[in-house]
């Protein structure tokens, strides 16, 4: 493993001061070019890797992730000194009110493209703040950049861009899917018994290249310390990223960067992610015992995936955009295996509605024990095609988990 030393992420106050410094430099140093200077905050470290056993290979050193936070998101051309994997954007106003064009290495802009709002996942408000199903979180998107060196945003009237971050997710993660042997051929229904948790072959954080330093502030304190509560339900999302992703681990690192650093949640919001090949990835950090999402008392760590309904809610994100296209059979099979193992472990009935009670606010709300993000929040997530597919997921989960 190659160890790099990079600055830890800054506290909000430090970042504010950083923006002021950058704005000063921008105004007095780069005004002639009209190019704001961007913050580089990449880092690379992590706990010891554990080999995936689902047919993937472990290769290379820990990937180096670099990111540039826009000092003035939504305004001007944002350029980077490194090739971008993706641009993460958070905005309020119309979900269809943002357009983006990439800038190549020579400074030439490409064509404008519409930015579609993805999963508006989010960290719960502080205890005592009341949330309802009608509350609308900000829009979020992660747009693949394919090696550009900058971007520019254009927004409709009434749209405000809160955060914009250019990410180089790096390469060479320890996990690489193998074309010959994949997690694919899982047929969980065949056994007739509930799959064990965790399912075999879950790619742990160290293997997809999670830089654990990003969970800490500059003073060494954990940004979002783990909190554990009894599991009450499972919620399915999609990432609204490209289908048949050639490097799912890199996309997950980009999501981690956006969630942990740009959105300041201190970690990736989902408990699990599943790619089109059916490989399951560990999401939110829950300890170093190798059991994803749980503590030793079988409680689940609180994630940041369903704004206002996070404690006790296990979030599973499907990698891709399932607005029109259904999940692949491999992805569907792994989702069923995972939800059945969770339903059996926590005695959840996937065919029923529950009364979810927030352990922090005490507020109760009705919804499905196994549902989609849109069951809890005003959003398209997990996409209409994946949402329709959930009825089959529930049936198969119930068959296995009983
Ligand atoms: Zn979602």
- pLDDT, tens digit, for every residue of 150-159? 999 999 999 9
Q: 310 C-alpha vs ligand 1 centroid, how far in Å? A: 12
**Residue tagged 């009983």 (tokens):** 402
**Tell me, what's the pLDDT at 124?**
84
How many whole angstroms separate alpha carbon 157 and alpha carbon 190?
Answer: 54
* In the predicted structure, residue 30 carries a pLDDT above the cut 80: no
* In the predicted structure, residue 33 carries a pLDDT above the cut 70: no
How far, in whole angstroms, is CA 397 from its chain's centroid? Answer: 24
Q: 381 C-alpha vs ligand 1 centroid, how far in Å? A: 5
The secondary structure of residue 49, as a DSSP letter, is: P
Q: 317 C-alpha vs ligand 1 centroid, how far in Å? A: 7
* CB 88 within 8 Å of CB 257: yes
Q: 236 C-alpha vs ligand 1 centroid, how far in Å? A: 7
How many whole angstroms separate alpha carbon 373 and alpha carbon 387?
Answer: 9
Reported confidence tier of residue 389, pLDDT bands at 50, 70, 90: very high
* In the predicted structure, residue 16 carries a pLDDT above the cut 50: no
Name the region of 261 (left: φ>0; alpha: ψ -120 to 50; beta: rest): alpha
- pLDDT, tens digit, for every residue of 55-109? 344 445 678 889 998 888 877 899 999 999 999 999 999 999 999 999 999 999 9
Phi, psi dihedral angles at 89 (to 5 degrees): -130, 135
Mean pLDDT, range 195-204, rounded to an integer = 92
Where are the alpha helices (H) located in 62-117, listed in sequence order?
Answer: none
Class of domain 188-401: alpha beta
Name the region of 20 (left: φ>0; alpha: ψ -120 to 50; beta: rest): alpha
Q: 384 C-alpha vs ligand 1 centroid, how far in Å? A: 12
**Tell me, what's the pLDDT at 195?**
84
Q: 60 C-alpha vs ligand 1 centroid, how far in Å? A: 32
Q: 105 C-alpha vs ligand 1 centroid, how far in Å? A: 34
pTM as predicted: 0.82
How many whole angstroms separate alpha carbon 234 and alpha carbon 375?
Answer: 11
Write the DSSP string, 219-240.
TS-BSS---EE---EEEEEE--
- Domain residue spans in the chain? 12-168, 188-401
* In the predicted structure, residue 214 carries a pLDDT above the cut 50: yes
How far, in whole angstroms, is CA 239 from its chain's centroid? Answer: 7
How many whole angstroms separate alpha carbon 33 and alpha carbon 27?
Answer: 10
**Sign of the Cα pseudo-torsion (93, 13, 264, 363, in order):** negative
Contacts 24+ apart (CB under 8 A), 357-365: 357/232, 358/308, 358/309, 358/311, 359/229, 359/230, 359/311, 359/312, 360/124, 360/127, 360/311, 361/127, 361/128, 361/129, 361/130, 361/131, 363/130, 363/131, 365/132, 365/133, 365/309
* CB 54 within 8 Å of CB 182: yes
Q: 246 C-alpha vs ligand 1 centroid, how far in Å? A: 22
How far, in whole angstroms, is CA 308 from its chain's centroid? Answer: 17
Q: 121 C-alpha vs ligand 1 centroid, how far in Å? A: 5
- pLDDT, tens digit, for every residue of 106-140? 999 999 999 999 999 888 876 655 555 545 688 99
Question: Exposed/middle/buried for 25, CB within 10 Å: 0-12, 13-18, 19+?
Answer: middle
Q: Please provide the average confidence, as pLDDT, over all residues in the chain.
A: 82
The more confident residue out of 389 and 377 is 389
Q: 111 C-alpha vs ligand 1 centroid, how far in Å? A: 28
Q: Residue 176: helix, strand or coil by DSSP?
A: strand
394: which residues sit within 8 A by CB, 6+ positions away?
Answer: 350, 351, 370
* In the predicted structure, residue 29 carries a pLDDT above the cut 70: no
Q: 238 C-alpha vs ligand 1 centroid, how far in Å? A: 6
| Per-position b or e across 59-75, b if 16+ CB within 10 A of its CB | eebbbbbbbbbbbebbe
Based on its alpha-carbon atoms, the radius of gyration of the chain, rounded to whole angstroms, reads 20
């Amino acid at each position: 493993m190659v160890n790099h030393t990079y600055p830890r992420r800054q506290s909000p106050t430090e970042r504010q001061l950083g923006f002021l410094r950058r704005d000063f430099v921008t105004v007095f140093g780069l005004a002639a070019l009209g190019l704001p200077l961007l913050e580089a905050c990449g880092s690379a470290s992590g706990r010891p890797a554990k080999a995936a056993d689902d047919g993937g290979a472990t290769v290379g050193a820990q990937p180096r992730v670099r990111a540039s936070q826009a000092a003035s998101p939504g305004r001007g051309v944002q350029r980077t000194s490194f090739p971008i994997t993706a641009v993460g954007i958070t905005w309020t106003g119309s979900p269809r009110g943002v357009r983006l064009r990439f800038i190549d290495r020579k400074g030439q802009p490409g064509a404008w493209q519409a930015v579609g709002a993805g999963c508006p996942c989010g960290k719960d408000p502080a205890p005592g703040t009341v949330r309802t199903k009608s509350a609308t979180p900000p829009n979020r998107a992660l747009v693949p950049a394919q090696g550009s060196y900058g971007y520019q945003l254009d927004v409709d009237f009434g749209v405000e861009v809160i955060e914009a971050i250019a990410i180089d997710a790096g390469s060479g993660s320890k996990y690489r899917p193998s074309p010959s042997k994949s997690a694919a051929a899982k047929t969980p229904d065949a056994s007739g018994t509930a799959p064990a948790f965790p399912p075999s072959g879950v790619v742990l954080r160290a293997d997809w290249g999670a830089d654990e330093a990003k969970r800490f502030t500059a003073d060494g304190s954990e940004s979002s310390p783990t909190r554990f509560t009894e599991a009450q339900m499972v919620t399915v999302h999609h990432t609204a990223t490209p289908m048949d992703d050639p490097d799912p681990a890199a996309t997950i690192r980009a999501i981690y960067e956006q969630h942990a650093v740009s959105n300041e949640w201190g970690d990736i919001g989902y408990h699990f992610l599943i790619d089109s090949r059916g490989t399951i990835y560990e999401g939110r950090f829950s300890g170093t015992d190798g059991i994803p999402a749980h503590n030793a008392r079988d409680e689940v760590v609180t994630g940041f995936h369903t704004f206002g309904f996070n404690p006790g809610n296990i979030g599973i994100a499907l990698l891709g955009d399932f607005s029109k296209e259904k999940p692949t059979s491999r992805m569907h099979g792994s989702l069923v295996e995972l939800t059945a193992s969770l339903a059996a472990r926590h005695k959840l009935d996937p065919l029923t509605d529950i009364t979810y009670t927030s352990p922090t606010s005490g507020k109760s709300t009705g919804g499905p024990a196994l549902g989609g993000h849109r069951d809890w929040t005003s959003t398209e997530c997990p996409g209409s095609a994946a949402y329709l597919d959930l009825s089959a997921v529930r049936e198969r989960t119930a068959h296995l988990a009983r």
